[in-house]
Amino acid sequence: MTKGMLTVLGKKGGKKPHEELGLSVEDLKRLYETMVRVRVFDEKMIKLQRSGRIGFYVPALGQEACHIGAAFALDDSDWIFPHYRDPGIPLLRGITIQEMVHQLYGNAADNTKGRQMPNHFSYKDINFVSISSPLATQIIQAAGAAYAAKIKKDGKVVLTSFGDGSTSEGDFHAGMNLAGVHALPIVFLCENNQWAISVPVSLQTGSESFAIKAQAYGFDGVKVDGNDILAVYKAAKESVEKARSGRGPTLIEAVTYRMGPHSTSDDPTRYTPEGELEAWKKKDPIERFKEYLRQVKVWDEEWENELRTTIAKEVDDAVKKAEATDPPAPDTLFEDVFAELPAQLLAQKDEMKRLIDEYGMPEGH
């Protein structure tokens, strides 16, 4: 168990922190660009939901450093079992904003064919397993995948992310126990954003931290400043290397803050204490990283303005294209489950076609 909270940004003396971590200037730019891309994407999607153009969205405001820093430590072939506040991970792995916007609209270009809730991304080609709403289901699935990787000896590592509220679910404990017993190649990332919807951390656990819970399952836990992307990367890099070398799992607790609503169905002003948000805004992970990049002469205002303008146009263009795309074809209701449709489904498909031919498609389809 690592004592205290790991922090990198703001430390004095020695080599530049990113050089000590083996990160190049291009790496720094990619990390920052992805954080800004998520922030701009979030702002636009919330506006779309508020105006009734998409049905639902889960923002990552304030938590960009947690999932982006952790995912950057992985190989592209490693597996990710995420929770619903990690949009930067698919962006890091080459998924476009256009693809993600199609999913939010559930249209014909959505790779899940409109079957998932908005914000429940799933990308087989990059080993990004489908997001689901029920808490902690991904944790036990991730442990199972890590068990398979160990049996196959394929050298892959599994990362699973979740919020502090998920630590109260049975699947968290089952997944941790399985990983500890079998020394599985898995990294557990707890994004402790202080609130499980309206339940504060003080009512979530009696432990002194979430990281300490790893001790009960026989492996290491580390508590890290979740608004310090270099600290998150450092903790994840060490944990991934440990897992890949056969030395078992690690639980990382990234201490951060959800600076927006839990989802677009939530109003945090009804339960968060006055002044709490303002205090955490001073620790904004993007602003902290920007200051570091300025100090090491990577960031300047011209680059920032160009970056935000480019991303804003990318998002706007993606929305226009998504809104001009038709809904999924009715026949897609019968695809992707059976290699050959059984008789009862063939009959239902024929009946659906007859009804559409007779009455037309429902309004709004």
Mind telling me the catalytic residues? 258, 262, 271
> Cβ of 147: how many Cβ atoms within 10 Å?
18
Which residue type sits at 323?
E
CB 79 within 8 A of CB 244: no
Contacts of 263 (CB under 8 A, 6+ apart): 56, 57, 58, 59
| Helix residue ranges per DSSP H, 51-169 | 64-71, 88-92, 97-105, 137-152
Report the distance separating Cα 167 and Cα 139, nearest Å: 10
Question: Cβ contacts of residue 14 below 8 Å, gap of 6+?
Answer: 20
The one-letter code for the residue type at 56 is F
Residues 138 and 80: their CA atoms lie apart, in Å, by 9
Structure tokens at 60: 């990552």
Residue 299, number of CB atoms within 10 A of its CB? 19
Q: Residue ranges of the alpha helices (H) in 167-282? A: 170-182, 229-244, 276-281
- Three-state secondary-structure class, residue 132: coil
Torsion sign (Cα): 94, 96, 101, 107: negative
Distances (CA, A) of 361 to 148, 194, 229, 269, 324: 45, 46, 49, 42, 18
In degrees, rounded to 5, the angle at the alpha carbon of residue 199 between the alpha carbons of residues 198 and 204 is 165
Smallest Cα–Cα separation from 266: which of 43, 44, 41, 50?
50
